[in-house]
Amino acid sequence: MSAPGVDALIEALGIDVDPELLVLSLTHRSFAHEAGGIPTNERLEFLGDAVLGIIVTEHLYRTHPDNSEGDLAKMRSATVSQRALSAVARELGLGEYLLLGRGERGTGGHDKDSILCDTMEAVIGAVYLCHGLEPTRTFVERLVGPTLESAAGLGAGLDWKTSVQELAAARSVGAPTYQVDSSGPDHERHFTATLYLGERAWGVGDGTSKKIAEQRAAENAYRALEADEATASASTDQ
């Protein structure tokens, strides 16, 4: 990466990072392989994942003294999830700085959640090596602060589709599928989504886009699954 590119990214990050470490944090294994086996960002990603985990865990522990271990774990999971970190990476414009091989570039690697998430962790690892824990804590809390605040109140609602998929897997009832119908003129389209687990419909949602309708269907299905589990547990206890 050229010096101007490094400087622009450092400005976007809002904290100084050693240029060589920063470039390493952006080096995907596909690029490293094509470049003759140079180092990748995977070791920095490993470090950054651990640093991120302790910072978020401590923050949640200190700021939510009345929450249970299970609640704190859910909030941490939502905050450090692939979805959350890739969103942070997009806000920083990290994708345009990634060093990817030709194959990954050709398949839209610059905007893949998995690659953006891993790179974000690698950047955090680079910041930690340059500055230590406390400046990195400030950096991380600035980046994920909004997600931390949301996690306290939303829980599963941060992504109903993912949450219902995880709940369905835990209950071994199969993977969710969606049937989406639409009506109305093109400029005022209305969508209705139905979530199925096997042959049974568990939730219906509607909205002005397919994505909104599916999220609402997933929310209703999640609540129905929870209610069903509670009823089953009550019957077992009797």
CATH architecture for the domain at 160-235: 2-Layer Sandwich (3.30)
Confirm if 74 and 56 have CB atoms less than 8 A apart. Answer: no
Residues in the annotated binding site for Mg(2+): 45, 118, 121
Instruction: Give the global pTM.
Output: 0.68
User: Residue 3 pLDDT more than 90?
Assistant: no
The set of catalytic residues is 49, 121
What would the pLDDT profile of 208-224 be if each residue is shown by its tens digit?
778 889 989 999 999 99
Q: What is the pLDDT of residues 145-173, one digit of tens each?
A: 888 877 766 556 656 787 898 889 988 88
Q: Which SS3 state, helix, strand or coil, does residue 202 take?
A: strand
Give pLDDT tens digits for 78-128.
788 887 899 999 999 999 999 999 999 998 999 988 899 999 999 999 999
Largest Cα span, the chain: 70
- What residues form the annotated binding site? 45, 118, 121
Task: Report the first-to-last Cα separation within the chain, whole angstroms.
Answer: 66
For the chain, the domains span 6-157, 160-235
Phi–psi pair at 82, nearest 5 degrees: -60, -40
Q: Tens digit of pLDDT for each residue in 174-189?
A: 999 999 999 987 767 8
Query: How many other CB atoms sit within 10 Å of the CB of residue 181?
Result: 11
- Tell me how far the alpha carbon of residue 78 is from its chain's centroid: 7
Dump pLDDT digits (tens) for 27-84: 999 999 999 989 999 999 999 999 999 999 999 999 999 988 877 887 887 788 887 8
Write out the two tokens for 1: 């990466």
Token pair for residue 160?
């109903």
Hey, what are 52's tokens?
């991120």
Would the CATH topology of 6-157 be identical to that of 160-235?
no
What architecture is the 6-157 domain classified under in CATH?
Answer: Orthogonal Bundle (1.10)
